[in-house]
Structure 1
Amino acid sequence: MTSEQKQLISATVPVLKENGVLLTKHFYNRMFTHHPELKNLFNMGNQQSGKQQTALAMTVLAYAENIANPGVLMPTVDRIGNKHVSLDVRPEQYQIVGRHLIASIQEVLGDAATPEIIDAWTAAYQQLADLMSGHEATIYQAKTVAQYGWIGWRPFKVKEKVKESEEITSFYIVPADGGQVMAHIPGQYISLRVFLPELNLYQARQYSISSVPSQAYYRISVKAEKGASIDTNGLISNHLHECIKVGDIIDLTAPAGDFRLAEDLTAPVVFISGGVGLTPMISMLQNLVEKNFDYPITWLHGCRNRSVHAFKNQLDEIVNGNDRIEQYVFYDIPTEMDKLEGVMEGFLDLSKIAALPQFPGTKYYVCGPAVFIRKQYQDLIARGIEKESILFEEFGPALIQLN
């Protein structure tokens, strides 16, 4: 890109701040009209809720704001790249997206979209597409050379279903060909694809791997969704609960994700989870226990009550068998028995944890609903924790901007 083109892109930042979501809504409608087959790739629940349009608008805005130095966006590129690889996105699909994004800019901005601005955004998009597809190529390559790694969709068989709570069921999944699987890094997810008759579409969703790294199987722990209005994500989860039986075949991609347990930990670790957000954490915790981790571990979890507290007995056993692990549990409405066991009442509140580790190098892993993540992040910052020490996983499109 020329310096003049970069200046033109920077000049469009105010327009993107005001009309970014309008632009991305127009873009998706346009692209799906011309390429309805892409509805099988994109999460239509996130489309319906507007989350995907908002996430794309935020990404385009961040790119425009940093057009002079797009390298500062590499953490975002890595997060999105992992998601794209998990959905088997290919470079040629970037060209489809580019054509419709540029056309949408022309159609939404009208006369304000001068030839110079369109040329600048065409060059800017190509730069971004090259950056993204290049990074994704390295992720694909890593999966190709990894032991038992693969790329694309691979058939797996459901070997076992285990009820973990009133809402959460674990699925133990093995390769349909009897082979082995690439061991994941604790915290990562797999993408799972099913056909939803309600939509007449294939739809994919990411589920955190809740088992320890293994070359024999993956375990995902899925929450059943309830209510009158359930989006596509809920439809997929409920489809697994209600329709998928032991022996059934489902398609998976290899483990991906940038929310990962660091391999060089030399200080205490704190896990903070809400509801089903404990699924990546249980993998991390068990992995550290298996490795005889030498530093203190603090486990904090909040949920509605005992009946929806997944892995409770297993966690109690782990904690009782390891002097280095401290556990704090919060229920919205604990029973008297819960209180006798040390359960605290209400939303998970870090101010009630006087002994929260704050040693240099301590890592804080946070996962749960968006409102939960924001509160825990703000409370950690208020206690003087450096933001670089806080890692969080947001299920769905990235809408939380904390770091």
Structure 2
Amino acid sequence: MKFKILILLAIYAHASIAQQKQKTGPDMPDSWIDADTDHKIVRLTNNNRSNLSFYFHNNPFVGDKMVYYSTEKTVDPAAKQETYNSNARDRQLYLLDLKTLQAERLTNHASPITGEIVSPQRNEAFYQVKDSVFAVNLSTKKNRLVYVFPDDFKAGITTINADGTLLAGAKTSDTEKDILKQNPAKSSYFNLIYEAKLPRTLFTIDINNGTLNKIFTDSAWLNHIQFSPTDPSLLMFCHEGPWHKVDRIWTIDVNSKAIKLIHKRTIPMEIAGHEWFSKDGRYIWFDLQQPRGSTFFVSGVELATGKTTRYELQRNEWSVHYTSSANNKVFAGDGGDPGSVAKAPDGQWIYYFRPNGDRFQAEKLVNMKHHQYRLEPNIHFSPDQQWVIFRANFEGRENIYAVEIKSSKR
């Protein structure tokens, strides 16, 4: 059965034109037409909590269901407003049926949980509470303990491999943890951690027998760790830090330990990052700027051949994150505010990109001018590829939305 998000149609059908055109505010309808783009938007989460979809390269889907985070609203004393708090006591995983918009709670832990890891093969979501790794079955909702890190190797999981047999992540040093604790703002810790050149260790955990395997250690900030969606042995990681100072994107074969640099910078101030695997595992795509803040591309490397593909886009079309469709024929981006790296004067949009030669032809899907980009929208194509799912705070609190790629005028 074809996936559909067209929920609450009765509400939508009877909404007035004024309601449908409304873009912000606490009394928005459950679905409306963006007045500036003529695309339909549906709010997928409807509760009194703060709701966040996964980071852009973390798959949240199993069939027509999506795993997401939901937490109690907290008040930011400085901003004097309700906001999402990643350390909130009640930060839990939920499961959303995209056909009915019915949500079910998956976890119940007294401590905050971390981990955006879904395995369609196992029909499970994996997460971590302090030093313990758990899995929850998405059908039965039964939680189980998977692994407890030993006292001499406290680390965090970030990804699962294609056949659902290995978890992976990185262990940080105590010194790095102290830097983060003393300098919680990214503007403070980012350069400090990079310059410290502290050791990090990549590892895997065999889910079936609990074996911990340390696969690579370097005096570098190893980050953005993600398994290929199709090759169970291929792990991607980055050298984090100021992008113009690092050759960022790497892969490692977890069996042979062979390491490969995916993209080598060639000019001063070139940056490449926010990398992701294509759904078919053929490509690694990434944001490329040559130089930083000047000329903008989405670039991809075909892993089998090393062939590079580049699509240029305009400054206003640059996005904090991009994503690709299942067939790599279309892309989406979440835009950026004027304070972002592109300094775009009119970049606050959810975009849909069609390659046209060596450039992107951009279509605006959602006006994000009332969204505060301290919360990254982190777009995903829906399982049927007909919608773009994103998170936003333009209603005054965090929720998850879907915008239909087909225009309401077509």
TM-score computed with the length of structure 1 as normaliser: 0.29
* Larger relative contact order (CA 8 Å, sep ≥ 6): 1
- Which is richer in strand? 2
Which of the two has higher C-alpha Rg? Answer: 1
Instruction: Choose between structure 1 and 2: higher helix proportion.
Output: 1
What's the TM-score, normalizing by structure 2? 0.29
